[in-house]
């Protein structure tokens, strides 16, 4: 099964992605972890990314795409994967579709954790207080949410239009949200996505 999990910062995507992937026997693939691994191993891509980050710049889509697609081509991802943190933009989403087209594959489902903005702000402020992250103030968090909505709402719409989107209530305990995610996947497991077509 090939999955993508979406949700605002603080929605618990990483936690749920790890648990879902364990149950399904597929790797949970996080762009942040990929960046860190490549940088640590000093791969050619990692060296490029490190230079970009140290210069205070955003990693360009083409570099992010290259790193993600390299990871998706590894043997453990042959039978499926769960993407967390990618794609973040419409351009990245189209690049992912093109990657799948070349392999005659596609995403099976897109899970979206829905958490109200105010709840996200409260969660992240609490986490910031616990972890002593003074840079995570309310203004910064709301700006991150604004960027998330601007960049990710179109990706949700694309997934909805193709019959791939599975919306999940992201409020409650970790176990409650996990149960909802698995229920959403199980209920739609036999529902084929809409056929691929170039728009």
**Any idea where the domains of the chain sit in the sequence?**
2-188
pLDDT value at 151 more than 70: yes
The 10s digit of each residue's pLDDT in 71-80 is 999 999 998 9
Bridge partners for 4 per DSSP: 83, 110
In this predicted structure, what is the pLDDT of residue 188?
64
Q: What is the average per-residue pLDDT within 147-175?
A: 92
Instruction: Tell me the mean pLDDT in the region 48-63.
Output: 80
According to DSSP, the residues that pair with 83 across neighbouring strands are 4, 29
**What is the mean predicted confidence (pLDDT) over 119-128?**
90
* Poorest-pLDDT segment among 168-172, 177-181, 184-188: 184-188
**Active-site annotation, residues:** 13, 88, 127, 133, 144
**How much is the pTM?**
0.83
The β-bridge partners of 166 are 111
| Dist CA 40 CA 32 (whole Å) | 12
Half-sphere exposure of 179 (CA within 13 A, CB side): 6
197 pLDDT more than 90 = no
Cβ-contact 135, 125 below 8 angstroms: no
Task: State mean pLDDT over 159-169.
Answer: 94
Residue pair 27/133 in contact (Cβ under 8 Å)? The answer is no
Name the CATH architecture for the domain at 2-188.
Answer: 3-Layer(aba) Sandwich (3.40)
């Amino acid at each position: 099964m090939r999955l993508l999990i979406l949700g605002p910062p603080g929605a618990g995507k990483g936690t749920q992605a790890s648990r879902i992937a364990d149950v399904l026997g597929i790797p949970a693939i996080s762009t942040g972890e990929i960046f860190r691994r490549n940088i640590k191993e000093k791969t050619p891509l990692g060296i490029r990314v490190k230079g970009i980050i140290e210069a205070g710049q955003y990693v360009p889509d083409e570099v992010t795409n290259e790193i993600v697609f390299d990871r998706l081509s590894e043997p453990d991802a042959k039978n499926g994967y769960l993407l967390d943190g990618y794609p973040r933009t419409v351009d990245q989403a189209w690049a992912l579709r093109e990657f799948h087209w070349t392999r005659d594959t596609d995403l099976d489902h897109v899970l979206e954790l829905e958490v109200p903005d105010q709840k996200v702000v409260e969660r992240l402020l609490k986490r910031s207080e616990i972890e002593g992250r003074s840079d995570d103030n309310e203004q910064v968090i709301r700006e991150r949410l604004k960027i998330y909505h601007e960049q990710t709402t179109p990706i949700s719409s694309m997934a909805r239009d193709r019959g791939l989107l599975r919306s999940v209530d992201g409020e409650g305990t970790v176990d409650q949200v996990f149960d909802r995610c698995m229920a959403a996947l199980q209920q739609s497991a036999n529902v084929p996505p809409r056929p691929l077509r170039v728009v």
